[in-house]
Structure formats: C-alpha cells, structure tokens
Chain A
Amino acid sequence: MISTNKGETVSIVLDGEEVEVPAGINLVDAAALFKKEIPHYCYHPQLSVAGNCRMCLIEMGTPMRDRGTGEPVLNDDGTQKIGWVPKPVIGCATTVSPGMHVKTISEKVTDCREGIMEFLLVNHPLDCPICDQAGECRLQEFATDYGRGYSRYVERKNVKPKRTRLGPRVTLDDERCILCSRCIRFSQEVAKDDVLGFVDRGSYSTLSCFPGRELENNYSLNTVDICPVGALTSTDFRFKMRVWFLKELPSICAESSAGCNIMVSSREGEIHRITPRRNDDVNDSWMTDSGRLLYKQVRSDNRLLTPQVKQTESALDVAISSAFESFNGKKLAIVGSCHSTLEELYLLNHLSKATKAKKYLRGHFGEDDGILLSADRSPNLRGTLLSGFTNEYPKKDLSKLNDDLKKGVVDAVLVVNEDLLDSGVEGESLLGVPVTYLGTHQNTTSNLAEIVIPTLTSFEKKGTFINRSFIAQGFASTVPSPGGLLPLTQILCRLLSLSDEESKITADFSLIWKNLSSPPKSPFKGMTFTDAQRGSLQIDGSKWNNLSFVEKKALHFEPQSSVLSSK
C-alpha cells in the first residue's frame, strides 16, 4: 500500500540511470514513474502487498560496505562496488532505499518472466474467445509482452468449476484464477467483509467463500474489476458485450454525495457497464455495486421521452411556453432537487428571482456505510448551497410546501425531478394548482402534472456535482440523449427569457461559471468549468460548517464538525 511520506525523496539507480523517487514507495511504482513497466498481478497500489504471483521479479543490488569497518568497498576504478542480490527479488515488496540499483530488463529478468508466465498458463483453459476479460486481461497482455510465445505443456490440464456463484452479483470461473489473492485482500481491507479464501492445495487451489457465507456486500463487484484475469465476472455483464466494442468515457456517479469517479462504457449509445475510475482523493479505485446499476435508468420503461401538456403529447416549445403561461402571474413555488447539477441550480435560482417564486428543497437520506455510500443519497446537496439556491440544510420532506399550499401562499408549482406526493405533500393541497414537472422518469407527480417536460439523466448531460468533501467534479455527457429532448439548463434558460425579457443569462457553461466565480467572496474564485472537468477542485466550504451534515466518517472523508472539534 502506498505509504504516506512527507515529500522526502531518495535517489536510486534505475537501469543505469540515477533518478529521484519519493521515499517509501516500492519498485513497481518507482519504475512506473519513469514509464518502465514491471509486470505484476498480485500487487495493487491500494491494497496490501502479498507478493505471491512472482511476476514482478527484477534484479536489485545495494552499494557494498565492509562488514567490519563500515567502509565502502570500492571497485578498481574507485567507484563503489554494487552487491547484486544473487537471486531475483520481487519489485512489489521491495521498498526503494538510497543508492539502490535496479535492473528491470536483463537476461535473468526476462528468463524469470517467461518462466512465471509459463507456470501461470499451465492450467489456464485458454478460453479467451468466451472470456469477458479478453481485451483488458493482464494475462493476455503479459503473455504477449513477456511470455515465451508457445506452450511446452502436453499433459492434460486441470478441469475446475466454470460457473460458481460467489454471490448475487459475482460469478467465478475457477479455471482462470491465478491465485493472486487480490479479491481476498480487497474484501478484508476495503470492504471489511472477510468472506473469501483459498481452499485445497497446489494446482487444486480454489477460491471459495467461507462456509455459509456469500460475497454479497455492496462492494463485491470491485473484486471483478481488480481481478487481473477473467476469473471473477460480473453476473450482470457476463457474456453481454465484448470490451473492444465499448467506448469508455469518464463521468461522476450520482448515487450519493460520495461522488465516485466512474467510467461509463457504451456501445452505439447504449450503456453496458459502469466501472470505477481511480481518484485518490475521492474513491481510490472503488465504487458501490448499487451505483453501477444506475445506468439501467437510462433505458427504463418509465423514462419520460415526450413533453406533455394536459396529458397529451406536444412539442417541446409548446410545452415550455404553456409551462410559463401556467405559472405566469401566480404565486409560484419552485421545488429544486439535490440531484441537479450546480449549473442547473444556478439557473433555477435565477428563475426563482425572475418569477419571484418561493424555493423549496428536500434531501434524500439513508444509511451511511462508512465507505463510499454516504447517508446523503443525492450527489449535489452542497451544490444547492454553493449555487445560492438555498442557505439551509434541506429537510427530508416538503411538508413546508404542503403547509404553504394549504394556506394559499403559493398557487402554482414547478418541480424538478422530485415526487411531491412522496415528499409529504398531500394530493388535496395540489387540487387546482397547476404543476409543471421537469424530470427524467415518470412518478405520481408527473402523472398529475399539467405540464411534463422530460429532462436528461446525468449520463446524457454535462454539469458539476459537489461531493461531501466540497470537491467540485465536472462531467460531460457519455451517451447521446434521446431525440428531441433538451438538457435542463437550456429549458431553464428558455423559461428565464420568457419571464424576464432583459435576462442575459444563457446556458453557456463558461458564462455560468464566470458569474459563479465573479462575486468578490465567491468560493469559486478563479475557477472554470474546464478546470472542474479536468480534475477535482477543492472548494472552501467553511462557510457552511454550522450546518449539520448527515455524512459520517468514511473513506477520504472527515465530517467537518469532528475536524473542528479536533482542532
């Protein structure tokens, strides 16, 4: 595992070249810094070192010193003699030390790699044509890069079970497993659910769940990602699509305020799987299983695809202008959503000013699992604060709106992606109140709404989410949106220009960010949308320290209150 060091470096000699590397890292990572690959299977930068695959063998030596006197031993030419370790050592378990000499390429190293590859392939079924890992398989890659290129094995191969169910989402192909134990270490160290282990010996070793247990935690699919071969497969993705057809684009997970970085893989506009993308400040290399299922919403049956006015389909322009007609001159209530992006919330806030509307907001809360599923089940609650949409921490329902409707303080509602009836608003209070629903999926509110304008899911639009640690992460669309629909930002801009003819705000993201960052005390000072998209931006959220955020201590997250009290 990467050890934390305070910026110290040591100098080592890598393939004859003297280089500076951070102290405390191992040789695999050190070589990678200089674009030299030391092939490895069992080592994973975010797990403990097991050192059992032996693929990372290299030659290593240290400057020699006299045992007795401690004087350096010199060569004839006056340079210090290097004591090469007579046998190769594993790079993953060797930490850099000053003056260390390393050979990542040499005859001996090549020989080792060929030998290891041969052993790993002895009982390998070679079923690449049906293996889901084919195309992103370390075994394939290293066999071509470092293997012998032909097989000398003529004996009969082992036959092991090919479709063992390890849990509800993971299927194991035992023949392919190279016994690297990454999955076991992941379960122990990250998921904190120790269920996997090896049984039997020698070539009969098999990965298995402990008796009576299943690999069913919400992080089980990460084992599939880190399995360097095709042994662990995702039951959902198994045999569905070959990876070389998939187009991979980065995005941000909208499941909770953890804001996991994800890779969305699609073919011809259809998403086939979601995998985590490494970000050492947010989610390391992990994400939840539940977050991976969110792509199913994109093509679900209850997706809204056509604008409706009074339950009849209509053109988008008509729907937008009738929405404006329905609340124009009335006492409007705008119900925002913590699932909206920062830019959408910014525009929604402007719309509320232009229409003199009252603003309402609810939060979505659940259990905190202390890793990457936070108690706040919306991706952008902090965005509602930072965009200026609200100053208060949202409650878990909209009972205030219900009261205001009853009192007649408001008599028209514009809802973004929330289900009013599910949020404590009674059906009777909505009688005779024109409701405009802007959302992605059908729900009871969309069914009773006078005007329904479909919007896009986070996979189809661009925007910014601000996660629980006040890190702003921009994302772009990963798949094309359904025909005829517009992103919410554009719909809001049209409503805005209808309500306020003077309004100069457009859905141009650079302009929105310019406006966001221009106030003198803005936390976005000097930032642009491009910055947010390129990497995570740490925003100063100290202004909101007095709010009681629901998140508990988790991976890469310390609740503000505990940070404050510890100071």
Chain B
Amino acid sequence: MPKTVVLARKPLSFSERTYLPQIATGLKTTLSNMFKPNVTLQYPEEKPSIPQNYRGVPTLVKDPNGREKCVSCQLCEFVCPPKAIRITPGSVPEDDDSREHVEKAPEEFEINMLRCIYCGYCQEVCPEEAIFLQDEYSTSGYSREEMINNKEKLYELGGTVPDPHYKWDKKKNAEDEGNSH
C-alpha cells in the first residue's frame, strides 16, 4: 500500500495575495473575446447544422422507389444492447404489384427512445441499409408511450435516402431479361 504523504501548502507570494495579476489575465481573455466571431446559437430558434456522421434518433428509410427497405430480419433487435427495438415480422402478399419480389417486411417496428442509447449498432448490423441514425436529436414527450416510435413514425423521421443497390429492381431485371425459370 502506498503511504499517504501530506504536503505542506506553500505560502502565497505578495503579488498572488493582491489577486491583481489574475484579475488582469481574466480581463484580457474577456476583452479578446469581444473581438472574436460570435459562436452562441439562439437555440431553439436557431439550429446547429449536424455533421454527416452524427448519431441521432434511429429511423427507418425508404428507397427512391418508395418501398420500405427493412425486411424484418431482426438483427437490430438482436444486437441492440438495451433491447430498445421490437419487431413484429410479417410477410408481403404475392400479388402486391408495387412490391414485386419483396417477400418479407415488418408488420410493426418499435424503438423505445427511453431505452435507446444511440450506439448505432442497429445501423451497423443492418444488411439492407434500412435503418439510419440521422440528424434528429431532440425528442420529448408527455408519457412513456409517446417515447416509443412506431413504424409509421420511424418512416416519417427517416424519409428516403439515395440507394446504390436497387436490389429488387435487379431481381426483376434478371427475371425479365434472362435466367428466369
């Protein structure tokens, strides 16, 4: 065990006891800031611009065709450390023309924002690039229920993002143009 050593406090020098040098330094800092550009934001009227890689509220996104990208694989539900995500999987009817080749989609998707710790694991694990932590950072509500984002809310928050894959279009092309059975 290291021994506790008591150090004697050094007595203040004369100039330190007058406090004048410290006051002068403080005034200098204040004065120099008067001529620097203003950084204070008038929040909430004025909002900060959020950097690209910011981890805000998790949201669900649609592809530019307006189809939901989530296929309810439930990997995010599995990986979420505080268990904030709850998915009810569902199947897409075969005759739904707007969603050709899509077989599975969430029936309900809930993220409990009282549990979410904004770690971004769900975004990282998603094989369909369907969930993103975007720039929304301020959530509030009057009740616990209000703090649970359901599927509708999540798509509303998420919007549409550019999609480099167009997975289902590719599938449709493969069927139309070539090796269909």
Residues of A within 8 A of B (CB): 127-130, 134, 156-163, 174, 203-204, 206, 238-242, 244-245
Contact = CB atoms under 8 A, between A and B. Distances in A.
B89 A244 contact: no
A130 B181 contact: no
A245 B89 CA distance: 13
A174 B104 contact: no
B78 interface: yes
Given A129-B128, A159-B181, A163-B103, 4 more contacts: A158-B174, A158-B181, A159-B174, A161-B181
Nearest to B171: A159
Interface stretch (B10-18, B38-46, B67-75): B67-75
A398 to B, nearest CB: 45
A241 B104 CA distance: 12
Contacts of A128: 73, 127
A431 B178 CA distance: 75
Contacts of A129: 71, 73, 75, 127-128
Contacts of B33: none
Given A157-B174, A160-B181, A130 B73 contact: yes
Interface of B: 71-75, 77-78, 89-91, 94, 101, 103-104, 127-128, 171, 173-175, 177-181
A235 to B, nearest CB: 10
A128 B127 CA distance: 9
A156 B181 contact: no
A241 B86 CA distance: 12
Contact of B181 (A206, A238, A242): A206
A244 B74 CA distance: 10
Contact of B73 (A161, A163, A240, A242): A242
Contacts of B74: 242, 245
A501 to B, nearest CB: 50
Contacts of B94: 163
Which of B75, B175, B179 has its CB near the most chain A CB atoms (within 10 A)?
B179
A203 B179 CA distance: 10
A174 B181 contact: yes
A419 to B, nearest CB: 36
Contacts of A203: 179
A41 B72 CA distance: 28
Contacts of A206: 181
B175 to A, nearest CB: 4
A433 to B, nearest CB: 48
A158 B179 contact: yes
B127 A162 contact: no
29 contacts: A127-B103, A128-B73, A129-B73, A129-B127, A130-B72, A130-B104, A134-B73, A157-B174, A158-B174, A158-B179, A158-B180, A158-B181, A159-B171, A159-B175, A160-B180, A160-B181, A162-B101, A162-B103, A163-B103, A174-B181, A203-B179, A204-B181, A238-B91, A239-B72, A239-B89, A239-B90, A239-B104, A240-B89, A245-B77
Which of A159, A162, A163, A244 has its CB near the most chain B CB atoms (within 10 A)?
A159
Contact of B78 (A127, A158, A242): A242
A130 B71 contact: yes
Contact of B179 (A159, A162, A240, A245): A159
